[in-house]
Amino acid sequence: MNLTIEVPARDADFLDSEQPATLADMPELPEVETTRRGIAPHVTGRTIVALDVYERRLRWPVPRSLARRLSGQRIVGTDRRAKYLLIVL
């Protein structure tokens, strides 16, 4: 799944260098919190522009309407539950 947000030019380098994670890249809990803290200032306050789902069979099936429902939503923060990063709308 790929989440696209509006990004000011000054932050574009941060996002361009990121690669999608795979199951083999699943971090341990301290790394999840470090990642959350690292991405929070770059996504908080941004607006979701698009959502690309590469695999619909994730933990739960991803509804086809999700991209339409998320488009235009503002990200108000980030959180973590165990090994999962959460984007708070």
More confident call, 72 vs 6: 72
6/82 Cα distance (integer angstroms): 28
The residues that are catalytic are 27-28
29-44 tens-digit pLDDT = 788 899 999 999 999 9
User: Is residue 66 domain-resident?
Assistant: yes
CATH number for the domain spanning 58: value is 3.20.190.10
Our count of domains for the chain comes to 1
Would residue 67 count as lying in a domain?
yes
Evaluate if pTM is beyond 0.75: no
Q: Would you state the structure tokens that stand for residue 69, as one six-digit string?
A: 């429902």
Nearby residues of 27 by Cβ (< 8 Å), 6 or more positions away: 35, 83
Where in the sequence is the domain holding 43, given as residue range(s)?
Answer: 2-8+24-88
- Whether 14 maps to a domain, the answer reads no
